[in-house]
Amino acid sequence: MPFSKIAGLSAIALAAGLSAAGATTLKDVKDQGYIRVATANEVPYSYMKDDGTSAGIGPDVANAVLKKLGVAEANWSVTPFGTLIPGLKAKRFDFVAAEQNISPERCKQVSFTEPNSSYGEGLLVKKGNPKKLTTYADIAKDPSLKVAVVSGANNIDFLRAVGVKDSQVIFITANADALATVQSRADAYAATELTVASLAKGQANVEQVAPFTDPVVNGKPVRNFGGFAFRPEDKELRDAFNAALVEFRKSEDYKKILGTYGLSEASIKAAAERKVEDLCAGK
Amino acid sequence: MMYGFEWDTTTPLSYASSILPIILIGLTVTLQAAAAGFAIALVLGLVFALLRRSRFTAVSWTTAIVVEFLRDTPLLVQLFFLYYVLPDYGITLPAFLTGALALGLQYSAYTSEVYRGGIEAVPRGQWEAATALNLSRLQTYRDIVVPQIVPRILPAMGNYLVAMIKETPVLSVVTVLEMMGLANMIGERTFEYLVPLTLVGLIFLLLTLICSAGLHRLQKALPKAGIPLR
Amino acid sequence: MEWLSYLPALSRGALITAGITLSAIAIGAVAAFAAGIARVEGGRALSLVALCYTELFRGTSLLVQLFWFYYALPLVGISFEPVATGILVLSLHVGAYGSEIVRGALQSVSVQQHEAARALNFGRAQTLLHISLPQALVEMMPAFGNLAIETLKLSSLVSLISIADLTFRAQSIRNLTLDSAGVYSLTLVGYFAMSLVLMLIMRLIERLVRRGAAFPRAAHS
C-alpha cells in the first residue's frame, strides 16, 4: 500500500470516527462490494500464501460460497488464533473462516454455521519420538514434560481434561511457531491431526505421532467439527451464508476441496451428519 | 480459570476484581523481567562505554556500530531474532531469559551513552592530574571517575528503568506470561478484552506515576547531598 | 541466494512501515506542540487536559494502548480501520513524549526575554510565535530526532494488530520458510537502513530550523 493510500485511508477512517452501528447484512456487503474475513494462519485449515492470497479448507470453501451468494470480493486478514473471536466481536472482520471447533463455549459468543469439516487430534514430536508419547494422557503422566499449544485453541481443553498441568503448557501465538518450539522448548506440540501432518511433512527433525490415540473426554473420544463463525447480531448474513454452504456441501466441488487438504471420505461424511445446534448444546 | 483463580464476568467490576490476583502474578513477572533486563543493560552498557574509549580504533569503531545498530532497530525484531534464531545454534534460553536479554541488549545501547556522557563530563584536568599522580587506570576510574559520575547518571538511568518496565509487554509475544500476556490469555478465554486490558493499563499508569515521583525525589535529594548535577 | 527471494515482500512491508512512521511523526508533532504549548501557555483547565493526556500516554505501554484501541474500544462502539488505529495510537504515544520536549524547551526560554517582549508591547501569542518558539525549536530538534527513530522502532508493534508492515512480513515469510536467521537478519538490517535515512532527514530539518532561527522574520514589519 503506497503512503498516499495509507494517509488517505487514515484520513477517511479518522473522519468517519464511529463505526456504523447495527447488524451487517448481505445487502450491505453486496453494496460495498467486498466482505472482510479472518484466518489464523494454520495449514491446512486456513492460511495465507506468500503472494498474499488465502488458501486452506476454510478460505477455499468460503470463497466458493461467497461466489454463490454474489459477493464479488473477500478481504482476508491473518490474525493470531486467540484473537479471532475478540476481533470478530470488535467488528474487525465480518466472519471467521478458520475451521474453529464448534464448542458450546464459543457458541455463547458467536453464531456458527453448520460444520464444514471434522477432524481428530494429533501430536508433533522430535524425530524418533524420544519420550515415546502416543496420546495426550502420556504427557500428564510425567510432569517434567512440556507441551506447546496455540493460545486460544481448544486443544488445551483436551489436555486439561486428561490431567495435563498448566505448568506443563507453553502457549504459542501461531501454529508456525510449533516447529521451532518442538525442536527446542517443548517435548510435543498438541494440535489437530491435519495441522500436525502438514507441519511434519518434509521435515527432517520432527514427526507426527503414529499410531495416535484420540483423547477420551467424558467417556467419548474427541472429535472436532469446524465451522464458520459470525457475529450473533448478523443473523441474516449468517443464515444466507449457511444456506449456501449447506447447498454447496452436496456438490462434488466441495468434496474435491476437502480432499485436496487431506480430509478422508469418512471425515467429510461425519461433518455433514452433525447439526450445529447439537454441537452447541454439547451433544 | 488460571493459577487457581476463577473469573466472574457478570459485571465489569466483579470481572476486574476476580482477575486482579492473576494480573498481579503477571506484575511480579513484569518487574522481574525489567529487573533482570536492567541488570544486563547496566553491565553491558558499561562494557560498551569502556570499549568505545578503547585506544584501538578498530575496537572503538566496531563498538560504536554495534551500539548504533542495537539502538536503531526495534526491540520486537531483536526479540524474535533471539527467540527463534539462537536455538538454531544450540542456545535455547527459556522465554523469560530471552526476553530479559533482549531488553538488556536494547537498553545497553542507551545506558552506554549515559555512561559515556558521565565519563566525558569529568574534566580533562582531572585525568591529567591522575596521570601526574601516577594513579593506575583502575585507580583513576575507581577513586576519581566513578564517585563523580554515579550521582550524575542516576536520574537518566532511572528514566530508562521506567521506560524498560513499560516495554515489558512486548515479551508476551514470545510466550512470557507477564501482565499483558495474561490479560490477552484471559481475553482469549472470556472473549472480553476491555476489562483485562484496562486493568493492565491502570496498573502501568500507577507504576509509572510512583516511579516518576520517586525519581523526582531522587533528583531533588542529590544536589542537597553536595553533588552538582551538571 | 535464498534470502534474495524475501526482498520483494519485505520491501512492500518496509513501505508500509515508512508510511506509518512518517504519518505518526507528522501527527505526533502536531499533538506534541498542542499539548506542550497548552502545558506552558494554556489556562489551568487546558494545561490540566494536556497533562492528563501526556501522563496517560506516557504512563501506559504502547502495546497495551494498541490492543486497547484495537480490541477493546470497538466493543463500546468506537472503531477505526487497523492502519488508522495504528497511526492514531502511535501518534498519540510519541506525541505525549514530544510534548515534554516542547514544554521543556519553551520553559528554557529566559524570563528576561519574556520581559523584553512585554516591554515591546508583544501580546502573549506574539511572544510565543516570534520569541519563544523560534528559539525553543532549535533546542528541541536533537530530541525530536531521537524521538523520530523511536517512532520508527515502535512502529514494529503495529504488526501485532494485523497490519502488514515490515515486521509482519518478516513473520509471514518465516512461517513459510522457517529460515529465522535469514529473515530476521534482513529485517534488522532493513530497520537499521531506514533509521539512518530518517536520521538524515531529521538532520536536514534541523539545519533548516537553525537557518530559520538565525535570520528571524525578515518579512515581519
Instruction: Please compute the mean of the pLDDT values over residues C37-54 and round it to a whole number.
Output: 94
Closest residue in C to B80 (Cα–Cα): C184
* Whether the predicted pLDDT of B63 surpasses 90: yes
- Would you call A25 an interface residue with chain B, using a CB distance cutoff of 8 Å? no
- Supply the pLDDT for residue B40: 98
Q: Is A50 strand, coil or helix?
A: coil
d(CA A181, CA A176): 9
Smallest CA-to-CA distance from A191 within A260, A125, A132 is with: A125
* DSSP output for chain C: -GGGGGHHHHHHHHHHHHHHHHHHHHHHHHHHHHHHHHHHHS-HHHHHHHHHHHHHHHHS-HHHHHHIIIIIGGGGT----HHHHHHHHHHHHHHHHHHHHHHHHHHHS-HHHHHHHHHTT--HHHIIIIIIHHHHHHHHHHHHHHHHHHHHHHGGGGGGGT---HHHHHHHHHHHH--HHHHHHHHHHHHHHHHHHHHHHHHHHHHHHHHHHHSTTTT--
Smallest CA-to-CA distance from C104 within C146, C144, C161, C49 is with: C144
For the CA atoms of C93, C98, C99, C102, what is the dihedral angle to 10 degrees?
A: 180
**DSSP one-letter code for A21:** P
Task: Compute the count of residue pairs across chains A and B with CB atoms less than 8 Å apart.
Answer: 41
Burial track C54-66 (b if 16+ CB lie within 10 A, e otherwise): beebbbbbbbbbb
A7: which chain C residues are within 8 Å (Cβ-Cβ)? 19, 23
More confident residue, B9 or B49: B49
Closest residue in C to A198 (Cα–Cα): C176
Smallest CA-to-CA distance from C74 within B190, B199, A37, A19 is with: A19
* Whether the predicted pLDDT of C49 surpasses 80: yes
Residue pair A147/A164 in contact (Cβ under 8 Å)? The answer is yes
pLDDT in tens, A74-127: 999 888 888 899 889 888 899 999 999 999 989 999 999 999 999 999 999 999
Sorting pLDDT into bands at 50, 70 and 90, what band is B3? confident
pTM: 0.86
- Supply the pLDDT for residue A11: 46
Alpha carbon of C152: minimum distance to chain A alpha carbons (Å): 15
**Are B184 and A183 inside 8 Å of each other by CB?**
no
In this structure, the strands spanning A147-150 and A188-192 are parallel
User: Which residue positions in chain A have pLDDT lower than 70?
Assistant: 1-21, 50, 52
* Interface confidence (ipTM) of the complex: 0.90
- Supply the pLDDT for residue A16: 41
Mean pLDDT of chain C: 90
- Supply the pLDDT for residue B162: 94
Query: Chain A interface, mutation test: which of B9, B191, B192, B195, most A Cβ atoms within 10 Å?
Result: B191
Q: State the Cα angle at A83 between B93 and A125, rounded to 5°.
A: 45
Q: State the Cα angle at A226 between A235 and B182, rounded to 5°.
A: 90
How long a stretch of residues is chain B? 230
d(CA B193, CA B200): 11
d(CA A159, CA B225): 60
Q: Is A54 strand, coil or helix?
A: strand
β-pair partners for A220: A217
Alpha carbon of C188: minimum distance to chain B alpha carbons (Å): 6
Mean pLDDT of chain A: 88
* C76 C-beta neighbours (distance < 10 Å), count: 8
Residue pair A61/A227 in contact (Cβ under 8 Å)? The answer is no
**Are C84 and A10 inside 8 Å of each other by CB?**
yes
**Are C61 and B168 inside 8 Å of each other by CB?**
yes
* DSSP output for C163-200: ---HHHHHHHHHHHH--HHHHHHHHHHHHHHHHHHHHH
Sorting pLDDT into bands at 50, 70 and 90, what band is B223? low
**Are C188 and B69 inside 8 Å of each other by CB?**
yes
**Which residues 128-167 of A have a C-beta within 8 angstroms of B?**
151-152, 166
Alpha carbon of C159: minimum distance to chain A alpha carbons (Å): 10
| C-alpha cell at position B11 | 459485571
Query: Chain A interface, mutation test: which of C3, C68, C83, C157, most A Cβ atoms within 10 Å?
Result: C83
β-pair partners for A170: A148
- Supply the pLDDT for residue C177: 79
Alpha carbon of B103: minimum distance to chain A alpha carbons (Å): 20
Task: Compute the count of residue pairs across chains B and C with CB atoms less than 8 Å apart.
Answer: 110
Q: How many CA atoms lie within 13 A of B143 on its CB side?
A: 13
d(CA A211, CA A208): 9
Ordered alpha helix ranges (H), chain A: 3-16, 26-32, 57-69, 84-89, 104-107, 136-141, 155-161, 178-184, 193-200, 235-249, 252-260, 265-273, 276-280
Q: What is the maximum span of chain B, computed from C-alpha positions, in angstroms?
A: 76
In this structure, the strands spanning A34-39 and A73-78 are parallel
Query: Chain C interface, mutation test: which of B180, B197, B209, most C Cβ atoms within 10 Å?
Result: B197
Alpha carbon of A207: minimum distance to chain B alpha carbons (Å): 18
Q: For residue A211, is the peptide bond before it cis, meaning its omega torsion is within 30 degrees of 0?
A: yes
d(CA B198, CA B124): 52
| C-alpha cell at position A119 | 477432524
**Are B87 and A180 inside 8 Å of each other by CB?**
yes
More confident residue, C191 or A41: C191
pLDDT in tens, C56-68: 999 999 999 999 9
**Are B208 and C75 inside 8 Å of each other by CB?**
no
Distances (CA, A) of C186 to A2, A93, B68: 22, 32, 17
Smallest CA-to-CA distance from C161 within C32, C59, C57, C74 is with: C74
How long a stretch of residues is chain C? 221
Sorting pLDDT into bands at 50, 70 and 90, what band is C219? very low
How long a stretch of residues is chain A? 283
Alpha carbon of B158: minimum distance to chain A alpha carbons (Å): 33
Query: Chain A interface, mutation test: which of B188, B194, B197, most A Cβ atoms within 10 Å?
Result: B188
Distances (CA, A) of A235 to A69, A113, A180, A228: 15, 11, 41, 13
pLDDT in tens, C98-153: 999 999 999 888 778 888 888 888 888 888 888 888 888 999 999 999 999 999 99
C20 vs A6, A18, A79: nearest CB: A6
C191: which chain B residues are within 8 Å (Cβ-Cβ)? 72-74, 77
Alpha carbon of B193: minimum distance to chain C alpha carbons (Å): 5
- Would you call A13 an interface residue with chain B, using a CB distance cutoff of 8 Å? no
d(CA B64, CA B48): 8
Continuous segment of H or E residues that includes residue A119 = strand A117-119
* Whether the predicted pLDDT of B230 surpasses 60: no
